[in-house]
Amino acid sequence: MEKKLQVDSMPGQTPHIVGENIGLKEKIGYGTGDLASNFIWTAMTTFIVYYYTDIIGVAAGIVGSIMLFSRFFDGVSDVLMGYVIDKTKSKHGKARPWLLWLAIPFAISAVLLFMVPNVSTVWQVVYIAVTYNIVCLVYTGLNVPYGTMNSLITQNQYQRSVLNVFRMSLALVGTLIVSNLTLPLTNLFGGQQLGWVLTFLIFGVIGSSLFIFCFKSTKERVKPVDQQQQVSTVPLKESLKTLGKNKYWALATAFILLTYIFNALNSGAVVYYAEYILDNTLLVGLVTTAYTVFILVGMVVVAPITKRFGKKNAIIVGEVITIIGYLVMLIDLTSITLIIAGTIIRGVGKAPINGSMFALLGDTIEYGEWKTGIRNEGMVYSGGSMGIKLGSGLGTAIIGWVLAFGGYVGGSAVQTDAALLSIQSIFIYIPLGITLLILFIMFFYDLDKKYPQIIKDLQARNI
């Protein structure tokens, strides 16, 4: 049974919250962390299968098996990294120093990923499996601390939302830049393996520089209410138990997991829909750009909206707008105009989701500290990172499963009605169902209205 909130301050008194005023440079600096990630990670995840199959010549099924194993490996490494962060003691803080320590190793490991040696297929597969999982491990060592920093920079809900807006906006900018530069750069450098290595060497240098800038321009301010916790050792089992008692963490993690299943379906299904339903593969770029650009446009107003109405309400409204976008598309599944219009509406609707999800997760840290007495930012954010990776993996798997169930034949000019229905399902029906499920989950998330009182209680304990 949940404790009753108690107030030790004067009625109507607004509690002082650590990090209420964050400067523009720090906001931009924080956002460059996800820009750095996308210069390497997005480029890698978008093109890596194509590179392995078409440039190196490894079978797609083998590549897919490596990716699937890596998702499970990621889930374990995320939790362990969260625990490591909570135990880290450095003059730079507990999460922030990892950006400095791993910025250059991440870039080097990403370049090594493309340096597949000209040996037998068996040894090439071994090389790919080892280097890909090393990249995933180093990325976890960067991404979990980076996400954790949001809650360590400030306790202010609005400032967390603003930081998240900068993060996700710059991440989308990185996605647009990299998706449009990767192939032209590789072709400029010859189009073969050397071209890919040189391209990722450039991306690696840019990414490492941005991570270091993120490190230098940010500051950890938030400390545990129980100062003894900084030097005490909380066992892994006990830290995991605190997550089990944090219902809002479970809701936020489920929200992130479903959102990234949606994202994987949205990005992976568009090429099939454009080719077999709209009969024009050139529409892939148009649909993707329209969706991304209008998320960016919507992100401009996310922070003031969440400040006025709260993250929960902003997310609910965003999901309702997303549903409207799908309803527009359902009017005529073969109309390019309606598909583009629905995509634009969906992009606007997804802006508050992208702009709020990690700030939402950050707020659950104070709730967990208030309820259990243990502040474990790393463990909390490891759940979010795990949700991203498992959600992306499941979304990609769902595309394959549904297409296979519908009898889809790759490369065939004509598909059966069942196959066409499977394509419609992964592009419209299943994402629409996920949107409705997210909407249902969010009705149970009422931490926004409790948060100021929780901060008061935590401050009272520190008197």
The architecture CATH gives domain 23-218: Up-down Bundle (1.20)
Residue 340 confidence class, pLDDT cut points 50, 70, 90: very high
d(CA 30, CA 210): 10
The contacts found for 63-68 with CB under 8 angstroms, 24 or more apart, are: 63/128, 64/400, 66/125, 66/128, 66/129, 66/132, 67/132, 67/393, 67/396, 68/393, 68/397
Cα–Cα distances (Å) from 71 to 115, 151, 380, 382, 388, in that order, read 22, 26, 19, 14, 10
**The predicted structure's pLDDT at residue 410:** 67
Q: What is the pLDDT of residues 46-87, one digit of tens each?
A: 677 678 877 888 876 677 677 777 777 777 888 889 888 988
Q: Which CATH class is domain 235-463?
A: mainly alpha
Domains 23-218 and 235-463 share a fold: yes
Q: What's the chain's average pLDDT?
A: 85
Confidence at residue 46, expressed as pLDDT on a 0 to 100 scale: 67
Asked if residue 397 has pLDDT above 90, the reply is no
Global pTM value? 0.75
- Give me the pLDDT at residue 45, please: 67
pLDDT at 151: 85
Mean pLDDT of 346-373: 87
pLDDT of residue 231: 38
Q: Could you read off the pLDDT of 150-190 as tens digits, one per residue?
A: 889 998 878 888 898 899 889 888 888 887 788 889 889 99
Residue-wise pLDDT for 219-272, tens only, equals 998 877 655 444 346 677 787 788 888 899 999 999 999 998 998 888 878 878
Decide which of 12 and 375 is more confident.
Answer: 375
Would you kindly state where each structural domain of the chain is located, as residue ranges? 23-218, 235-463
